């Protein structure tokens, strides 16, 4: 009996020591007791934003980042309510600020760098740097490339269509032998107040640019870059208020509007002879649709024509252009999945069959969503808002992953992933740089908190590489496609978030972007595409959107006194960054009653469930509100603990 009592005493002693170690240090020897006696003592292990969530119960439970896991339907509705508080066993931001370096007091390095006021002198310096960046690119284009379409900034010469290789779509889809860079930059000259150069450029366009060319171009690119710019410049010239200074042209007789009409007529054959009403992707400006034309097109390319075509129709009083563009949008909308409400990214224009079933926010779909909302803002057609609301709800339900609230709670930061349009299941683990436009779109509908988080993720990638790789694999924390062609999407979202919040954090972001562009992309005669964001090797190309968008948004970010912000006129930017005033004249459509009410049923004639339109607070993208002065003390738009978390998740720290 004594040996049994001794053994029992030793066991009890070891259990007691084990309990003390557990309580004091969260440690303890593993003796197999964990499985037999899951003693929690009321103190579950603490975890925070950087720790993985506990594995799901049962076989086949998902592991890894929450972005890999399918969302729980209904979470989107919860996100519209109050932010979720940290749950039991989860430390809040104050704790993690201490653990990760904040020490619970004072300001950490993020706050020190980003939360202070942005001095007026520094803002003026950055504004002038952005203006100088535009001038350097524009002047070199005019000196070395005009009248060709683009500037090769390394070798200081021009570039036009690749006549020797018609299959070189990367070049030929965009370059139509119509002085693309000059046309695309017109309204940037006006916004920067350069009336003399604007007037000179308009006269050059009128006298030298013709669309009667044997050039096969992409309908989408010709529409957003050329048609949109002509319409924007025309409205600037004819604006009776002249907010940007005297931009009038002596003896101007609506020539730019006539040129826009001529180009649009040459694009119309793309809408003919398609069984679905979805246009062909390309046309020859002289002969129409090529005989060997591809029957497959991307959703964004076919469904992002309504803003420019609608403006043209309403200025001319001719419904043709808006009608064909709206028919294409409705045809695509009717092909969405009845289960998820999502659209794919590539469709056959004759059969309506989805060739590409990926649904995301980047290439192939981005501007489709953008133009549903912006068409409503411009034209006031209720069905455009209804489609956008339904699409946005589906995006929230199936594409959004991560924690429910941007600035509260635990888990991975919100991210929008690529999924199968029919099942909502994850298709890959990359995002592309075009998706960086989405925070700006969220600003326009008032979903600013979500915009703040998504923008922070893209900015973290920028900080790591000094540019945005075309594709970034968030699971591998590395680029999948390494080039950066001077894209504007992150700058656009930065500008719109600053207009919505007036937080100087975004001025610091803009300064980082501006300085990176100067450091890594400036060459002898302009700014060059980065071929490789890591080694910073370059390609000899400066795309026209660098002047029409990237430089424009950077300039407006720092030019607080610009008429865009102060004139009292409400403005909106097209997907190519062309400025359009939002006024009642564009909401007048005498042919409205002639548009058929399509889109209420699917192809089988069955009624399609449509979520009720929730009222979205559409914010003027050029907010004229008076804000607090820079001298006040600002906090970060995203808590530093979450900013650090995002930096860790992209491998920055």
φ and ψ at residue 83, rounded to 5 degrees: -60, 140
Helix (H, G, I), strand (E, B) or coil at 234: helix
Residue entry with tokens 């669309």: 211
Cα distance between residue 157 and residue 139, in whole Å:
12
Instruction: Judge whether 174 and 225 are in contact, CB under 8 Å.
Output: yes
Instruction: Judge whether 335 and 352 are in contact, CB under 8 Å.
Output: yes
What is the enclosing helix (H) or strand (E) of 478? strand 478-481
Instruction: Judge whether 86 and 403 are in contact, CB under 8 Å.
Output: no
Beta partners for 481?
471
Considering 184, 381, 412, 470, which one is annotated as catalytic?
470
Cα distance between residue 487 and residue 366, in whole Å:
14
Q: Is 543 a catalytic residue?
A: no
Q: What is the 3-state secondary structure (H, E, C) of 316-353?
A: HCCCHHHHHHHHHHHHHHHCCCCCCCCCCCEEECCCCC
Identify whether 147 is preceded by a cis peptide bond (ω within 30 of 0): yes
Cα distance between residue 213 and residue 263, in whole Å:
11
Alpha helices in 502-626 (DSSP H): 505-520, 545, 551-558, 563-566
Q: Is 576 a catalytic residue?
A: no
Instruction: Judge whether 345 and 423 are in contact, CB under 8 Å.
Output: no
Backbone Cα Rg of the chain: 28
Considering 412, 489, 540, 647, which one is annotated as catalytic?
489
Check residue 500 and report its DSSP letter.
H
Cα distance between residue 470 and residue 434, in whole Å:
8
Cα distance between residue 628 and residue 618, in whole Å:
22
Q: Is 366 a catalytic residue?
A: yes
Considering 366, 381, 432, 492, which one is annotated as catalytic?
366
Cα distance between residue 375 and residue 222, in whole Å:
19
Alpha helices in 26-119 (DSSP H): 33-36, 75-79, 93-99, 109-114
Residues 6+ apart with CB under 8 A from 138: 185, 189, 547
Identify whether 171 is preceded by a cis peptide bond (ω within 30 of 0): no
DSSP output for 166-232: TT-HHHHTT--SS-HHHHHTHHHHHHTT-HHHHHHHHHHHHHH----S--EEEHHHIIIIIIHHHHH
Q: Which two tokens stand for residue 341?
A: 């409400």
Considering 221, 308, 383, 549, which one is annotated as catalytic?
221
- Torsion over CA of 224, 225, 227 and 233, rounded to 10 degrees? 120
* Catalytic residue positions, numbered: 221, 366, 470, 489
């Amino acid at each position: 009996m004594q040996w049994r009592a001794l053994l029992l005493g030793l066991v009890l002693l070891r259990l007691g020591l084990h309990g003390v170690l557990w309580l004091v240090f969260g440690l303890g020897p593993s003796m197999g007791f964990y499985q037999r006696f899951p003693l929690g003592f009321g103190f579950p292990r603490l975890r925070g934003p950087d720790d993985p969530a506990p594995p799901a119960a049962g076989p086949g439970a998902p592991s890894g980042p929450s972005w890999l896991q399918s969302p729980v339907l209904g979470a989107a509705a919860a996100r519209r309510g109050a932010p979720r508080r940290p749950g039991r066993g989860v430390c809040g931001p104050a704790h993690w600020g201490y653990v990760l370096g904040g020490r619970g007091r004072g300001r950490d390095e993020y706050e020190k760098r980003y939360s202070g006021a942005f001095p007026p002198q520094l803002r003026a310096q950055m504004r002038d740097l952005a203006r100088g960046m535009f001038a350097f690119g524009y002047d070199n284009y005019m000196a070395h490339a005009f009248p060709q379409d683009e500037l090769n900034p390394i070798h200081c010469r021009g570039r036009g269509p690749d006549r020797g290789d018609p299959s070189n779509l990367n070049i030929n889809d965009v370059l139509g032998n119509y002085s693309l860079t000059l046309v695309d930059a017109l309204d940037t000259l006006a916004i920067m107040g350069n009336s003399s150069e604007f007037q000179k450029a308009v006269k050059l366009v009128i006298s030298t640019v013709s669309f009667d060319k044997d050039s096969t171009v992409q309908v989408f690119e010709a529409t957003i870059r050329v048609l949109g710019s002509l319409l924007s410049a025309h409205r600037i010239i004819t604006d009776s208020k002249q907010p940007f200074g005297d931009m009038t042209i002596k003896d101007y007789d609506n020539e730019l509007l006539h040129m826009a009409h001529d180009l649009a007529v040459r694009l119309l054959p793309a809408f003919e002879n398609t069984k679905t009403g979805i246009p062909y992707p390309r046309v020859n400006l002289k002969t129409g649709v090529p005989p060997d034309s591809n029957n497959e097109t991307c959703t964004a390319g076919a469904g992002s024509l309504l803003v420019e075509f609608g403006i043209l129709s309403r200025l001319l009083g001719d419904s043709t252009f808006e009608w064909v563009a709206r028919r294409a949008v409705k045809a695509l909308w009717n092909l969405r999945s009845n289960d998820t409400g999502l659209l794919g990214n590539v469709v056959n224009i004759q059969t309506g069959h989805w060739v590409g079933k990926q649904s995301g926010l980047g290439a192939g779909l981005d501007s489709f969503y953008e133009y549903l909302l912006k068409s409503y803002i411009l034209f006031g057609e209720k069905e455009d808002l209804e489609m956008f609301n339904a699409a946005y709800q589906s995006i929230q339900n199936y594409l959004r992953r991560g924690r429910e609230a941007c600035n509260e709670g635990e888990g991975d930061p919100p991210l929008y992933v690529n999924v199968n349009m029919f099942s909502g299941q994850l298709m890959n683990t990359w995002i592309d740089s075009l998706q960086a436009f989405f925070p700006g779109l969220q600003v326009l509908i008032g979903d600013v908190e979500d915009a703040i988080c998504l923008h922070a993720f893209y900015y973290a990638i920028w900080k790591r590489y000094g540019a945005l790789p075309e594709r970034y694999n968030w699971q591998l924390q590395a680029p999948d496609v390494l080039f950066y062609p001077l894209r504007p999407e992150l700058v656009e979202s930065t500008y719109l978030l600053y207009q919505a919040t007036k937080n100087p954090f975004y001025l610091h972001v803009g300064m980082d972007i501006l300085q990176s562009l100067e450091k890594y992309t400036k060459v002898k005669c302009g700014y060059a595409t980065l071929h490789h964001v890591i080694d910073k090797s370059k390609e000899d190309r400066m795309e026209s959107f660098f002047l029409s968008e990237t430089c424009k948004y950077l300039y407006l970010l720092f030019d607080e006194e610009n008429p865009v912000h102060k004139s009292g006129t409400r403005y909106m930017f097209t997907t190519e960054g062309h400025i359009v005033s939002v006024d009642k004249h564009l909401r007048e459509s005498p042919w409205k009653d002639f548009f058929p009410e399509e889109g209420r049923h699917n192809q089988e004639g069955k009624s399609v469930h449509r979520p009720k339109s929730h009222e979205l607070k559409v914010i003027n993208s050029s907010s004229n509100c008076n804000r607090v002065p820079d001298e006040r003390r600002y906090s970060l738009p995203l808590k530093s603990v979450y900013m650090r978390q995002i930096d860790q998740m992209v491998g920055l720290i």
